[in-house]
Amino acid sequence: MEKVHGHLVREYIVRLIKKKVSLKTPELQQNLANLISTHAYHLQSFCKEKGSKATWLDSALPKLAEIIRLQDSNGIKIEVAMLANTYPDMSKKHVAAILYIKGNLPNSEVRSILSILDVSTKSTTSCESLFSAIKIS
């Protein structure tokens, strides 16, 4: 069941970042973040009910939702750093694809947020990989 759980979370992230949707208003971003949070809750509940022990996957979608929800660049940096520490296989391309959804971010802020991955300490506690299987073109 853990493999199914991982596959479902990966596919959700793939569908989210491959759509090339750019939401320009905070209201639209908030709506998407709420939808992702709801889906994450249902996905987590379903997988737990079916016996998945892959709790390391539980925070991925809520953290992505929070990045989409936040409007403050410093808050986004903190969330990106936390996500990178939890999922050290996440690349700048993955983060850039997520930030693309936030259509109201100037390029200078996107570069500043991406630079957090240069200084973020990569966690070695998780041997699981989530983002490495997600290819970004």
Q: What is the pLDDT of residues 51-84, one digit of tens each?
A: 999 999 999 999 999 999 999 999 999 999 999 9
Range of the domain at 100: 2-133
Tell me how many domains the chain contains: 1
CA dist., res. 46 & res. 77, Å (int): 31
Phi and psi torsions of 102, nearest 5°: -85, 80
| Per-residue pLDDT tens over the stretch 4-44 | 999 999 999 999 998 888 999 999 999 999 999 999 999 99
The predicted model scores a pTM of: 0.88
Residues 131 and 50: beta-carbon distance below 8 Å: no
pLDDT, tens digit (0-9, with 9 covering 90-100), for 82-113: 999 999 999 999 999 999 999 999 999 999 99
User: Which pLDDT value is given to residue 119?
Assistant: 74
How many angstroms separate the CA atoms of 48 and 20, rounded? 31
64 phi and psi angles, rounded to 5 deg? -65, -40
